[in-house]
């Protein structure tokens, strides 16, 4: 198990263009970057609690929803895991990412994978809290409008059938 600060474990990923661009992507009606950072925060806590490798957990957390829009509820973990592998992440990170949507995805088989499952669910509840709190002062709907303008997915949203067809071909490669 590796210890250290959060920043030591994910500094290179925080400055990666693919992670930076998530600031302009919508996820649960909030910036995807907020969700990823919330997942990192919970992963750090759960990893300590469960005795899991912090580095693996934190790196999986910051990557787990990269390119999620290219897949579905059940396939986007595999897409992010493939991106992580292409980036040179160790297999432990990729396996954790692939199973983060349990019970809609594969069964997690390591402590690190379970940490990500729990952290992602806790972060999603935090996302909802952030959105609902912003409804009270109007900031959530305004931010959602801004994200729809800056998020390329919402500007060029493909038709559902074409999206699935493209995804099947990409996964078959």
Q: Which two tokens stand for residue 165?
A: 């067809």
- The H or E element that residue 66 is part of is none
Residue 152: predicted pLDDT: 85
User: What residues make up the domain containing 112?
Assistant: 6-172
> Does residue 1 sit within a domain?
no
Closest C-alpha among 55, 66, 30 to residue 140: 30
Q: Alpha helices, DSSP H only, in 6-53?
A: 6-14, 17-20, 32-50
Under the banding of pLDDT at 50, 70 and 90, the label for residue 13 is very high
How far is 15 from 135, CA to CA, in rounded Å? Answer: 31
> Does residue 71 sit within a domain?
yes
> Does residue 52 sit within a domain?
yes
Enumerate residues 6+ apart whose C-beta is below 8 A from 96. 56, 57, 60, 64, 108, 110, 112, 113, 115, 116
Residue 1: predicted pLDDT: 44
Are the C-beta atoms of residues 53 and 47 closer than 8 Å to each other? yes
Q: Is the pLDDT of residue 164 over 50?
A: yes
> Does residue 85 sit within a domain?
yes
Residue 165: predicted pLDDT: 57
Residue 168: predicted pLDDT: 60
Q: Into how many domains does the chain fold? A: 1
> Does residue 139 sit within a domain?
yes
Write the pLDDT tens digit of every residue in 56-105.
999 999 999 999 888 888 889 999 999 999 999 999 999 999 999 999 98
Are the C-beta atoms of residues 119 and 42 closer than 8 Å to each other? yes
Are the C-beta atoms of residues 73 and 66 closer than 8 Å to each other? no
In this structure, the dihedral spanned by the alpha carbons of residues 115, 24, 28 and 6, taken in order and rounded to 10 degrees, is 20
How far is 131 from 13, CA to CA, in rounded Å? Answer: 26
Q: Is the pLDDT of residue 167 over 80?
A: no
Bigger pLDDT: 154 or 103?
Answer: 103
Q: Taking the complete model, does pTM exceed 0.75, yes or no? A: yes
DSSP category for residue 104: S
Write the pLDDT tens digit of every residue in 98-136.
999 999 989 999 999 999 999 999 999 999 999 999 999
Phi, psi of 101 (to 5 degrees): -95, 15
Percent of all residues in the chain with a pLDDT value above 70, rounded to a whole number: 87
Instruction: Check which CATH number belongs to the domain holding 66 and give it.
Output: 1.10.3210
Are the C-beta atoms of residues 110 and 92 closer than 8 Å to each other? yes
> Does residue 25 sit within a domain?
yes
> Does residue 49 sit within a domain?
yes
């Amino acid at each position: 198990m590796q210890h250290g600060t959060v920043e030591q474990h994910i500094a290179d990923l925080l400055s990666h263009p693919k992670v930076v661009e998530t600031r302009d992507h919508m996820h649960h009606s909030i910036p995807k970057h907020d969700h990823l950072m919330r997942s990192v925060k919970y992963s750090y806590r759960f990893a300590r609690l469960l005795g899991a490798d912090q580095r693996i957990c934190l790196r999986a957390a910051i990557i787990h929803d990269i390119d999620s829009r290219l897949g579905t509820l059940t396939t986007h973990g595999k897409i992010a895991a493939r991106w992580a592998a292409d980036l040179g992440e160790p297999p432990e990170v990729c396996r954790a990412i692939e199973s983060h949507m349990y019970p809609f995805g594969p069964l997690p088989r390591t402590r690190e994978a379970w940490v990500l499952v729990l952290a992602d669910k806790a972060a999603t509840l935090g996302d909802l809290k952030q959105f609902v709190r912003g409804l009270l002062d109007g900031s959530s709907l305004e931010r959602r409008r801004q994200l729809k303008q800056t998020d390329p997915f919402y500007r060029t949203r493909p038709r559902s059938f074409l999206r699935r067809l493209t995804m099947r071909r990409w996964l078959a490669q």
